C-alpha cells in the first residue's frame, strides 16, 4: 500500500556518507540528494539528519585515526561539518533547493524555550520551502548531556516536528535475526509490530564502520517514534532510491509500525 506521508525525516549515517578513507562518498550523497529533492518537489516536507561530521573531518584533516579525546573529535567535527554542508548546499542547489543548517544538543531539546524556538525555526524553514539539515552540535555537546548518536537525535527531531515517518539509512538492509555477514541463517525481519525483548536482542553487538550507533540505538529511535505514532524504517543506505520503495509500500528493510495504526 502506498504511503501518504506528508512530513518525512531521513537520517543518514557516517558509514553511508563516507568511504573507508573518511572521504565523502559522492555517488551516494548525489543519489540521496536527488531522491530528497524529488520528494520535496512532490510537495512533501523533508528534513535530513546527517552524521559524518567527525568522519569527514578526520578525512579532510588527513588524520590517521579517529581522535580518542573529546576535543579532538569536536575539532574534527567542526571541519567535517563545513565540508558536509558545502556539499549538501551545492548538490541541493542543482535541483533548485535551499538548505538550512541546524546544530542541536540534547540540552536544547530538553529546554522548553529552546525547543519552542527550534520548532519555530523548523516551521519557518518548511514554509520557505527549504530543507532543514540537522546534526548534533558536536563542538559544544562534549560528553555530558549528548545524544552521542544521531539515531536518537533523529527520533527527537521526528517527534518535535510531528513527522509522519522516520527513515534511517544504514549499512544493512534492515534488522536481521543475526549478523548477516557472519551467519547464513540470518534473515531479515520485514515488519515489526512490537519492539519486544526478542527484537532488542537481535541488535546486540552490531556496529557500523566509522559511525557510532549500531542497530541498538536505531531500535531506541524506532521505539520513541512508533510510540509517538510515527512509522519508522531501517533501510540500506547503499541505495538511497529505496526510499521510493518505502513510499510505494514495497518490501524493503524493516518497517516498524507506528502505534495506534492498523495498516
Specify the pairing of strand 165-170 against strand 45-50: unpaired
Minimum distance from CB of 136 to ligand GLU (Å)? 4
Comparing CB distances to ligand GLU, the nearer of 15 and 37 is 15
Minimum distance from CB of 72 to ligand GLU (Å)? 12
User: 167, 163, 156: which is closest to 244 by C-alpha?
Assistant: 167
Minimum distance from CB of 183 to ligand GLU (Å)? 25
Comparing CB distances to ligand GLU, the nearer of 105 and 226 is 105
Comparing CB distances to ligand GLU, the nearer of 84 and 247 is 84
| Cα–Cα distance, 10 to 47 (Å, whole number) | 6
| Cα–Cα distance, 106 to 95 (Å, whole number) | 32
| Cα–Cα distance, 146 to 112 (Å, whole number) | 17
Which stretches of the chain bind ligand GLU, using CB under 6 A? 13-14, 51-55, 77, 135-136, 138, 149-150, 211-213
Comparing CB distances to ligand GLU, the nearer of 33 and 247 is 33
Minimum distance from CB of 249 to ligand GLU (Å)? 28
Asked if 175 contacts 90 with a C-beta cutoff of 8 angstroms, the reply is no
Three-state SS for 77? helix
Amino acid at each position: 500500500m502506498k504511503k501518504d506521508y506528508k512530513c518525512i525525516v531521513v537520517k543518514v549515517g557516517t558509514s553511508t556518507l563516507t568511504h573507508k578513507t573518511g572521504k565523502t562518498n559522492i555517488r551516494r550523497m548525489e543519489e540521496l540528494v536527488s531522491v530528497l529533492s524529488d520528494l520535496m518537489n512532490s510537495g512533501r516536507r523533508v528534513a535530513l539528519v546527517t552524521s559524518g561530521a567527525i568522519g569527514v573531518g578526520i578525512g579532510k584533516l588527513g588524520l590517521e585515526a579517529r581522535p580518542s579525546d573529546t576535543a579532538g573529535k569536536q575539532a574534527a567535527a567542526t571541519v567535517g561539518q563545513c565540508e558536509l554542508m558545502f556539499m549538501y548546499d551545492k548538490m541541493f542547489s542543482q535541483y533548485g533547493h535551499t538548505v538550512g543548517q541546524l546544530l542541536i544538543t540534547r540540552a536544547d531539546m530538553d529546554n522548553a524555550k529552546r525547543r519552542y524556538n527550534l520548532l519555530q525555526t523548523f516551521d519557518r524553514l518548511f514554509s520557505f520551502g527549504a530543507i532543514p539539515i540537522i546534526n548534533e552540535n558536536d563542538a559544544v555537546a562534549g560528553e555530558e548531556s549528548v545524544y552521542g548518536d544521531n539515531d536518537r537525535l533523529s527520533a527527537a527531531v521526528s517527534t518535535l516536528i510531528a513527522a509522519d515517518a522516520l527513515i534511517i539509512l544504514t549499512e544493512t538492509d534492515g534488522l536481521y535475526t543475526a549478523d548477516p555477514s557472519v551467519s547464513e541463517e540470518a534473515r531479515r525481519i520485514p515488519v515489526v509490530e512490537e519492539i519486544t525483548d526478542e527484537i532488542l536482542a537481535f541488535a546486540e553487538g552490531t556496529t557500523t564502520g566509522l559511525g557510532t550507533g549500531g542497530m541498538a540505538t536505531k531500535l531506541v529511535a524506532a521505539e520513541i517514534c512508533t510510540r509517538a505514532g510515527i512509522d519508522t524504517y531501517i533501510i540500506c543506505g547503499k541505495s538511497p532510491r529505496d526510499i521510493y520503495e518505502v513510499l510505494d509500500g514495497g518490501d524493503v528493510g524493516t518497517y516498524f509500525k507506528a502505534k495506534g495504526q492498523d495498516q
